[in-house]
Structure 1
């Protein structure tokens, strides 16, 4: 069957976090998570996840950036490297990559229906109580693809939590935990400690953990789990720079600005030289690794990315240690990764939608960032502070209902308050095509509570059109609050801009 049929069939499964049909609350999940179901599906498919080494990455923010950076390093070192991430911005194929290339449509369709046929049989035989979810199905598909493509290693980003996540059926070489904050409380717990314990579910007895010092509650919870499991814990703190970041010329800027009239590659990336007049702080600094210099020149923008880069460096350093972890599956002498290959991998990392600047042929610049929780909003606010103070700004914002709308708007909306001393600023809300989306009335109420003026648009396409019309040509449009919004706006922009629906 066709790729389009496979994608339509996949989306018909429904999102795990979408409310159940008979739910009494928007936060009531469609189903309970049960890792036994994922193990049963994988077993029926031949347990493809056992045919390649893997690394699991859990956390609230920074998982995707860390995963993409580590995958890029391993690819630069010559290893056939799989990368599994979620969610996607434009196409579901983005989630399943090898050496930076998305799974081809034909392979996606073929493997999707293999998983689907197997799942239906298991339901008929009462091995499974119901059909696997959207994420479980995609995870099984990815494992099959990586197995048949004989990857050397797979970098797997956990979807939600860790303990019960579909990815957690692998036996990882390393477990990485990125920064933890409050998010998905309805499913993971109401405190940092509770959420951390769910994330720490990716740890294995006598395994290896790579993480960084962070919130005290998270540190304590990680430490308690690590002690119980006799974990070998590695801190990536030595790989965070302690000197001021150098500002480099525009030709090497990591503020990825794309002239939308120019040709883009299949991922929407463009390696062209960005204009010098608008740049964000550039992560270019020097470290020492194994007694040798390491020059970091990252294509990821924002000071917060230094933590994600540090985690990737620490993981690469541990992977080339032949006695530090279980490598019985592959590569009996450790992964051969040089400092220059780590530098190359970091330099070539691309992760769209994360402080990504796009430029229209005429008019304002577009800044995209998938800040979808309060911690991400604070990170974005720090980046906004680096923009020219006098530059006019328009905020395009929307979010999902299970996010902390009140706190996110308190963090971001005051930066775009046209009733204060920024008369050329604007705030636009737009609806997201998702059953979990916050309504326009709820968004407007949040702005009213702060006494900050805001407008609404009936669709994301019209919101982008309106934003381009009201923002001065030297201004900037910032789209954030939801990965779904950022993905839709990015697609519109890369296709030449939006017209009223």
Structure 2
């Protein structure tokens, strides 16, 4: 289960935040039309985002892992670095880290209360921040924490889209758009080009943007056009010969760090920073929960390979299953424990599972998710064998038992929230051998 919050002040702060609009916890059919609330809120807090330089990261797949690689690389240069990420898997403090360590609960609580004070003042005065959302408040708190910790660089991951995302108040030196797939189409647009327009909104004039998307790709063309309009340099890392998600993430992070080197950023030992900072140790340190994690558990004296990945977009899931197919223990048919939110492309996700020989067991984690019965109907329509077990713990137990009996492997997917519910249990099981 997700880790329990222990600090009463943080429990109280989050209770107050939960009264605000939270796009992560409600059906989406609209989105705000400007950044005025976060701009006003930040101004009331002394514009903490002006206290550090930043790298801004957006994308459909790999943005969290790329951000973690950048954090690890800068930390290896002995540069004080913060990372702002979303969503979290097991504890909200995962969203704000300093030098690769999640922020302490008490520190997060006090920053949130400062943001809440600013919100109350805005409501009294009737200014734009009175409409601040849950994510606005957390973003402002994260930037306050970075300022007060004296971080020199922050790696800032967008929450949703980019152009109108709360994080887009940072004046980033480098922006990264890892890739573009169809996601949040009810908000960001129905095509990859439309979604690319939203994500390209993080590019700042006269800065540098890194993206592997080619100019002849529809989404890549939108990004290139935007970069040209605001005189931003566009860098495309070379993916030739790179087969896995991890390898491509490293190439993107390498390119971004090389740009910092060109800007004159130096490690504490005087060397110019660059892609050399991301070595095997940095790659290991940057592994995030719920992103292509792999374990081996023993069931009835048989070893079962278990993967955790919160892929909730068909584009993501296909990349994950493609990578797994080349890894030890993941050959042949698989069994997926699956929960899918109501606003996700369930039919697309199931079609990917069908092509890769993965049989789903549908489960439920909250009322924001599609019912397992509805998912089973979708699976039946494409001839995909499936099962329904409402309780995620029992669904996982059934999956691993079936895998042990048939020589299959298991993946938990469709939702990082589902991963958070089961991850601690799987880690314990793997530790037992």
TM over 0.5, yes or no?
Answer: yes
Of the three residues 477, 480, 487, the one matched with 2:410 is: 477
Distance in 1, Cα, partners of 2:226 & 2:10: 43
* Cα deviation, residue 4, structure 1: 2.3
Residue in structure 2 matched with residue 488 of structure 1 by the alignment: 421
Residue in structure 1 matched with residue 278 of structure 2 by the alignment: 342
Q: Secondary structure at the match of 2:128?
A: coil
Residue in structure 2 matched with residue 223 of structure 1 by the alignment: 224
User: CA distance change for structure 1 residues 415 and 210 in 2, over 3 Å: closer, same or farther?
Assistant: closer
Residue in structure 2 matched with residue 372 of structure 1 by the alignment: 312
- Matched length: 415
| Stretches (4+) displaced over 6 A | none
Map 1:300-319 → 2, pairs under 5 A: 303-319=244-260
Deviations 1:352-381 (A, max 9, x none): 212211233545232111211011021023
After TM superposition, the score normalised by the length of structure 2 is 0.89
**Is 1:444 aligned to 2:371, yes or no?**
no
Map 1:377-456 → 2, pairs under 5 A: 377-386=317-326, 393-416=334-357, 426-435=359-368, 437-456=369-388
Q: Secondary structure at the match of 2:404?
A: coil
Distance in 1, Cα, partners of 2:399 & 2:154: 40
User: CA distance change for structure 1 residues 113 and 131 in 2, over 3 Å: closer, same or farther?
Assistant: farther
Distance in 2, Cα, partners of 1:112 & 1:9: 10
User: CA distance change for structure 1 residues 308 and 384 in 2, over 3 Å: closer, same or farther?
Assistant: closer
* Cα deviation, residue 152, structure 1: 1.3
**Are the counterparts in 2 of residues 68 and 349 from structure 1 also a CA contact under 8 Å?**
yes
Distance in 2, Cα, partners of 1:493 & 1:12: 33
RMSD: 2.5
Map 1:17-416 → 2, pairs under 5 A: 17-19=24-26, 26-29=27-30, 32-128=32-128, 130-214=130-214, 216-237=217-238, 240=239, 242=241, 303-322=244-263, 336-337=272-273, 340-343=276-279, 344-362=281-299, 364-386=304-326, 393-416=334-357
**Are the counterparts in 2 of residues 59 and 179 from structure 1 also a CA contact under 8 Å?**
yes
**Are the counterparts in 1 of residues 188 and 198 from structure 2 also a CA contact under 8 Å?**
yes
Residue in structure 2 matched with residue 22 of structure 1 by the alignment: none
Distance in 2, Cα, partners of 1:130 & 1:434: 28
**Are the counterparts in 2 of residues 75 and 345 from structure 1 also a CA contact under 8 Å?**
no
- Unpaired runs of at least 5, structure 1: 20-25, 246-301, 418-425
User: Greater CA deviation, 1-10 or 376-385?
Assistant: 1-10
Deviations 1:52-104 (A, max 9, x none): 11111112111111111111100011111101111111111001001110000
User: Greater CA deviation, 487-496 or 165-174?
Assistant: 487-496
User: Greater CA deviation, 189-198 or 392-401?
Assistant: 392-401
- Unpaired runs of at least 5, structure 2: 1-7
* Cα deviation, residue 9, structure 1: 3.3
